[in-house]
């Protein structure tokens, strides 16, 4: 019984942890959307800012990936 309860908690926890990825989605969308808005106003400056775009997306995404990691840890390591 106790083992089943722990299993239940593990699966519910893993599911809850994936909610954090929604935050990463908001962050990445915000960066990409703002980049596009800026790029349409000044298209000639856009190519020089591609590197900053990807670095920004990578930083925003990393925090979401941490919650994915928590989900994986709960599923396979705990």
Residue 17: how many CB atoms within 10 A of its CB?
A: 19
Kindly state the smallest distance separating residue 66's Cβ from another protein, in Å.
7
| Upper half-sphere CA count for residue 41 (Cβ side, 13 Å) | 5
Q: Residues 25, 64: contact at Cβ < 8 Å?
A: yes
Total residue length of the chain: 78
Supply the Cα-derived Rg of the chain in whole angstroms: 18
Q: How many residues bind another protein (CB under 8 A)?
A: 16
For the window 14-53, what string marks contact with another protein as x by the rule CB under 8 A?
A: -------------------------------------x--
Q: State which residue, 1 or 51, has the beta carbon closest to another protein.
A: 51
* Interface residue list for another protein (CB under 8 A): 51, 54-55, 57-58, 61-63, 65-66, 68-69, 72, 75-77
């Amino acid at each position: 019984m106790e083992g089943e309860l722990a299993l239940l908690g593990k699966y519910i926890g893993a599911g809850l942890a994936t909610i954090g990825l929604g935050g990463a989605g908001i962050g990445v969308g915000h960066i990409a959307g703002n980049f596009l808005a800026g790029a349409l106003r000044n298209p000639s400056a856009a190519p020089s800012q591609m590197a900053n775009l990807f670095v920004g997306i990578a930083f925003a995404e990393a925090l979401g990936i941490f919650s994915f990691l928590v989900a994986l840890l709960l599923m396979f390591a705990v």
